[in-house]
Amino acid sequence: MPKTLSAAPAPASGGPNPSPRRGRTGFTLGALSPRGMSPRTLVIVLAVITLGCIAAFMTIDLRGNLSYALTRRGIRVGAMLVVAVAVGLSTLMFQTVTANRILTPSIMGFDALYILIQTGLVFALGSSTLLTAAPSLKFGVEVALMVVFSALLYRWLFTGGTGSLHLMLLVGIVIGTLFRGFSSLLQRLMEPSEYIVLQDLFFASFNQVEPLLLGISAVVVVLVAAVVWKLRKTFDVLALGRDTAVNLGVDHRRIVTLVLVLCSILVAVSTALVGPVTFFGLLVVSLAYQVVRKFSHAALIPIVCLLGGITLIGGQLVLERVFGFATALSVIIEFAGGLLFLYLLLKGSLK
Amino acid sequence: MSAPVLSRTAAAEQVPAVAVRRSKKPSETAWLVLGTVAVLLLAVVSLFVGVSEVSLPQLLAGNAEAWDLLWISRVPRTLAVVLAGTAVAVAGLIMQLMVRNRFVEPSTVGTVESATLGILVVTVVLPAAPIMLKMGVAGVFALGGTALFLAVLGRLPARNTLLVPIVGIMLGGVIGSVTTFFAYKYDLLQTLSNWMIGDFSGVLRGRYELLWLVAALTLAGYLAADRFTVAGLGADFTTNLGMNYKAVMRLGMVLVSLISAVVVTTVGAVPFLGLIVPNIVSLLFGDNLRRAVPWTALFGAGFVLVCDIIGRTIRFPYEVPVGMVMSVLGATIFLTLLLRTRKRNA
């Protein structure tokens, strides 16, 4: 027992026989792929790439009024970073808790739920109430509702005791469809003027993010990220599977609820900022697992965040500067992520 | 003493299985007639729902305007609803037999999405193409999408009942994202949403007649129903019975794809219909196929009629597309079916 536990954090300067798993991967793959890199080096390399992307994004083709252009670009970069961290972390946590590599909060309908709640609020209270309310208050109410609903709904789904992952996944997908259908029905029943207000709420692309909301979101995401970081060791234990984790003294039910709450906060933040992105989280977290050989959350957490930033900022940069598209990045991510999802299914990752 | 009793019960269990079916037959025909009457009643109700007044007294008084309205707008619309409902439900049934999976239908395996992509491609390449050409291209794309799904299905690691629809939905999502991308690029997003959401509000005389084509296809599906059942039992079994497995599968794919393509081009996608109607029919009447097809057709027509009437009255005088009503109702019913499965398994 202690041997398996100590294998993960084995220090490089360990005893005369270091963990054989580490040594072997280091030799065979070290020269070819980043898998051989120690997590710390990897994080540093990725951080440098991220900074490079940000710098390029901020400075390429910079003309006209400098401070205006820089502020606008800064807001976009900030929004992308917030979304990258929110989506990446929520997917990582969700996958760890549900012990699989395919589920993501958005496939399970989390962001559809958020949109339904917003639509329901506008439908019930009218857009004027929502427009005149302070953005922070509105945001707080929405997030609170989202947290309560999703914790109830998804806890019921995950602790229902059937153990059939496929059934859970299918129910999640259908629930998502139901929420989306219900929102569009409500939107259809609204006054057209109210609908326009609502539409602006979901399709705020990276270009029209409100600085105040971005500030609040950034603070929220940083706070949640801090909690996640604090829990990193618990996640390592959870990753061993539900039964093992319970045997090792983890209060599984409590932690699942906590994770669902954290996920709903993160999903609410990212959806409020830029609208729903279904497969982005799947893409980033799968990439992270490809890159990291050491499955410790202390390594995974920063790597997921950085990879998310690189994908979004770098992707946007390439799309805008090379291909001349404005906002189609989410569509491309959707396509690539969808293919990846199918590939994972076919490979049999979801057993 | 106990042995004869046992054997008698065993025999008693076997005989009624046949006897009940035989004795049930007349009463079932009666039910079928009753069901047809109910659907006809719904159709009549559907004729009299709408913004412009069309009422029985007016018609009897020979009000020319009312009669015009009836013939130009109301009758075509009701016919379109009935035809589309029947066809999509039967297409779903055929697909479920072919794939041997109860959770599958053209809109959960990518057929509908592929048809939509096809229409988009024609619209971009040949904007002035006649509707028959658009439909043909949509059909070819739908066929390709269905074939792709079946190919993917063959490669699935385990033939898991619930995995099949998941893969299908995701495949549809991937095809859909390609469609969205090109629609975005060519500024056709709004046009696209017309095909994605089924809507009968644009149906007038002259704009629905192609749906009679689906009626013919549905009839063909009925006549070939037994073959699909056999094909569902597997390639070896089918070949042993002296049938050409590949030909049957091809026929099924062509029928399902053409039905989807025609319905999508004329009224847009009708989600979940092909999924829940066959399931409900199977729950109520079992899996005898010849028997199931008429019921599926009847329930399909009735369900779409109800949804269309709801869509037209819920926000009177405005109209909510039937596809939206259907996605909410359909998803709810589908969830109930899924969770029933869960209870049974538990």
pLDDT digits (tens, 9 = 90+) for B91-143: 999 998 888 888 889 988 889 999 999 999 999 998 888 888 888 999 999 99
Q: Quick check: B181 and A332 CB within 8 A?
A: yes
Q: Which residue of B has its CA nearest to A108?
A: B166
Alpha helices in chain B, H assignment, sequence order: 2-47, 56-60, 64-69, 75-99, 111-125, 131-155, 163-185, 189-196, 211-223, 225-232, 235-240, 245-266, 273-285, 289-313, 322-345
Question: Is residue B335 less than 8 Å (CB to CB) from chain A?
Answer: yes
Given a contact cutoff of 8 angstroms between Cβ atoms, the answer to whether A103 and A166 are in contact is: no
State how far the alpha carbon of A82 is from the alpha carbons of A86, A221, A223, A274, A321, in Å: 6, 7, 12, 10, 22
Q: Which residues of A touch B181 (CB under 8 A)?
A: 328, 331-332, 335
pLDDT value at residue B26 = 59
pLDDT value at residue B152 = 83
Given a contact cutoff of 8 angstroms between Cβ atoms, the answer to whether A84 and A303 are in contact is: no
Question: Is residue B132 less than 8 Å (CB to CB) from chain A?
Answer: no
Q: Which residues of A touch B314 (CB under 8 A)?
A: 189
What residues in chain B have per-residue pLDDT under 70?
Answer: 1-26, 157-159, 342-346
Q: How confident is the model at residue A200 (pLDDT cuts 50, 70, 90)?
A: low
pLDDT value at residue A110 = 85
Given a contact cutoff of 8 angstroms between Cβ atoms, the answer to whether B84 and B74 are in contact is: no
Question: Is residue B310 less than 8 Å (CB to CB) from chain A?
Answer: no
pLDDT value at residue A15 = 37
pLDDT value at residue A348 = 65
Given a contact cutoff of 8 angstroms between Cβ atoms, the answer to whether B326 and B273 are in contact is: yes
Q: Which residue of A has its CA nearest to B149?
A: A342
Judge whether residue A20 has pLDDT over 50.
no
Question: Is residue B160 less than 8 Å (CB to CB) from chain A?
Answer: yes
Given a contact cutoff of 8 angstroms between Cβ atoms, the answer to whether B89 and B222 are in contact is: no
Q: Compute chain A's Rg from CA coordinates.
A: 21
Closest-CA residue to B35 (of B75, B70, B86, B87): B86
Q: State pLDDT tens for residues A325-335.
A: 665 677 788 78
**To 10 degrees, the CA torsion angle through B244, B245, B247, B250?**
170
Given a contact cutoff of 8 angstroms between Cβ atoms, the answer to whether B119 and B134 are in contact is: yes
Mutation for testing the B interface, residue in A188, A190, A327 having most B CBs under 10 Å:
A188
Closest-CA residue to A117 (of A268, A12, A4, A251): A268
Q: Which residues of A touch B101 (CB under 8 A)?
A: none
pLDDT value at residue A163 = 58
What's the rounded Cα separation, in Å, for the pair B267 and B198?
5
- Those residues whose C-beta lies under 8 Å from the C-beta of residue A59, and which sit 6 or more positions away, are none
Per-residue buried b or exposed e for A58-82, using 16+ beta carbons within 10 Å of the residue's own CB: eeeeeeeeeeeeeeebebbbbbbbb
DSSP result, B106-166: GGGTTHHHHHHHHHHHHHHH-TT--HHHHHHHHHHHHHHHHHHHHHHHHH-SS--TTHHHH
Closest-CA residue to A58 (of A84, A82, A76): A76
Q: Which residues of A touch B320 (CB under 8 A)?
A: 185, 188-189
Percentage above 70 pLDDT, chain A: 81
**Phi, psi angle pair for A142, to nearest 5°:** -65, -45
As to burial, measured by CB atoms within 10 angstroms (0-12 exposed, 13-18 middle, 19+ buried), residue B160 is middle
Q: Which residues of A touch B328 (CB under 8 A)?
A: 178, 181-182, 185
pLDDT value at residue A76 = 86
Q: Which residue of B has its CA nearest to A345?
A: B167
Q: Which residues of B touch A345 (CB under 8 A)?
A: 156, 163, 166-167, 170
Q: Which residues of A touch B325 (CB under 8 A)?
A: 185
What residues of chain B, 221 to 260, have a C-beta less than 8 Å from chain A? none
pLDDT value at residue A4 = 38
Compare CB distances from A185 to B169, B170, B325 and report the shortest one's residue: B325
Compare CB distances from A342 to B170, B181, B345 and report the shortest one's residue: B170
pLDDT value at residue A31 = 39
The label of the residue with tokens 């046009």 reads: B191
Q: Which residues of A touch B160 (CB under 8 A)?
A: 166
Q: How confident is the model at residue A206 (pLDDT cuts 50, 70, 90)?
A: low
Mean local confidence (pLDDT), A169-178? 86
Q: How confident is the model at residue A205 (pLDDT cuts 50, 70, 90)?
A: low
Mutation for testing the A interface, residue in B174, B272, B312 having most A CBs under 10 Å:
B174
Q: State pLDDT tens for residues A287-316.
A: 898 888 777 888 899 999 999 999 989 888
Average pLDDT value over all residues in chain A: 78
pLDDT value at residue B88 = 94
| Cβ-based neighbour number of residue B257 at 10 Å | 29
pLDDT value at residue A213 = 80
ipTM score for this prediction: 0.78
Q: State pLDDT tens for residues A73-113.
A: 888 899 889 999 999 999 999 988 887 788 888 888 888 88
Structure token digits, residue B242? 């002296």
Question: Is residue A160 less than 8 Å (CB to CB) from chain B?
Answer: yes
Q: Which residues of B touch A175 (CB under 8 A)?
A: 331, 335
pLDDT value at residue B144 = 93
A285 to chain B, minimum CA–CA distance in Å?
Answer: 18
pLDDT value at residue A302 = 92
Question: Is residue B139 less than 8 Å (CB to CB) from chain A?
Answer: no
Given a contact cutoff of 8 angstroms between Cβ atoms, the answer to whether A105 and A111 are in contact is: yes
The label of the residue with tokens 């971009």 reads: B124
Mutation for testing the B interface, residue in A104, A157, A331 having most B CBs under 10 Å:
A331
Q: State pLDDT tens for residues A234-288.
A: 998 888 877 888 888 888 888 888 888 899 899 888 887 777 777 889 999 998 9
